[in-house]
Amino acid sequence: MTESNKLSKGLVQVYTGNGKGKTTASLGLVFRALGHGLRIHVMQFMKGQTTYGELETAKIFADRLTIEQVGTPKFIKAGQQTAADRELAQSAFARAQMLVASGDYDLVVLDELNCAIDFNLVELEAVKELIRSKPAHTELVITGRNVHPDIIELADLVTEMREIKHYFNAGQAARVGIES
Ligand code: ATP
Ligand code: MG
């Protein structure tokens, strides 16, 4: 822990489920943490397709917030993962391991990491090791559908976003500024 770290105790949170709001919730936490001067890193897995609004926002808070987005331009379907998907996810995870271990961050968000595990792009055991060995002051947030039971076991908090109703099913397409 360095003098610039603001959290005395960091926990492990998971946002999962099939309803909308997992990435949004993690970014809400980032917004709150920024207000207290926390240092934040967000690594977004499996997201090479779109320029998300949060990437632009991060430029405004560049001294305390970094967001990296990693993925191939194609939407990944289950069973159709490519070597390129695997390589990108694994190098992003290696970087996340290094950033967490550095202890420089109060809050680290690993967005869609559950999906990257589920799609066999990142090793479950490596994620478990990252959770177990994280610095005590670093808050770790892992998002994505289909969280593995071992990750639930290791987490301090697990919230499930459950779809009750979603406008997508009524034909409403994703909107810039709301979904991206
Ligand atoms: P968001 O990024 O909006 O907070 P999310 O992180 O909970 O959503 P993901 O599982 O990452 O959702 O889904 C990726 C995309 O699918 C996002 O554009 C998201 O808004 C959208 N989405 C999320 N849940 C649903 C749903 N139940 N039906 C249709 N689309 C959804
Ligand atoms: Mg998401």
Residue 2 inside a domain? The answer is no
Q: Residue 79: what pLDDT?
A: 84
Give the residues of the chain that fall short of pLDDT 50.
1
- Give the mutation target among 13, 15, 23 for probing the ligand 1 site: most ligand atoms within 8 A of CB: 23
Residue 133 inside a domain? The answer is yes
Residue 56 inside a domain? The answer is yes
- Three-state SS string over the chain comes to CCCCCCCCCCCEEEEECCCCCHHHHHHHHHHHHHHCCCCEEEEECCCCCCCCHHHHHHHHCCCCEEEEECCCCCCCCCCCCCHHHHHHHHHHHHHHHHHHHHCCCCEEEEECHHHHHHCCCCCHHHHHHHHHHCCCCCEEEEECCCCCHHHHHHCCEEEECCCCCCHHHHCCCCCCCCCC
**CATH code at position 20:** 3.40.50.300
Residue 86 inside a domain? The answer is yes
pLDDT in tens, 19-35: 999 999 999 999 999 99
Q: Is the pTM of this model over 0.85?
A: yes
Residue 1 inside a domain? The answer is no
- Number of domains, the chain: 1
Q: Residue 2: what pLDDT?
A: 52
Q: Residue 56: what pLDDT?
A: 95
Burial level of 63, CB count in 10 A (0-12/13-18/19+)?
exposed
Question: Distance, CA 105 to ligand 2 centroid (Å)?
Answer: 21
- Could you tell me the residue range of the domain that residue 55 belongs to? 12-170
Ligand 2 ion: nearby residues, β-carbon < 5 Å: 22-23
Residue 96 inside a domain? The answer is yes
Q: Residue 109: what pLDDT?
A: 98
Question: Distance, CA 163 to ligand 1 centroid (Å)?
Answer: 10
Residue 175 inside a domain? The answer is no
- Report the atom number in ligand 1 closest to the C-alpha of 145: 10
Q: Residue 3: what pLDDT?
A: 55
Question: Distance, CA 111 to ligand 2 centroid (Å)?
Answer: 7
Q: Residue 74: what pLDDT?
A: 78
Which position has the token pair 């809050």? Answer: 107
CA–CA gap between residue 67 and residue 108 (Å, rounded): 10
Q: Residue 148: what pLDDT?
A: 98
Residue 45 inside a domain? The answer is yes
SS3 content of the chain, % helix, strand, coil (to 5): 40, 15, 45
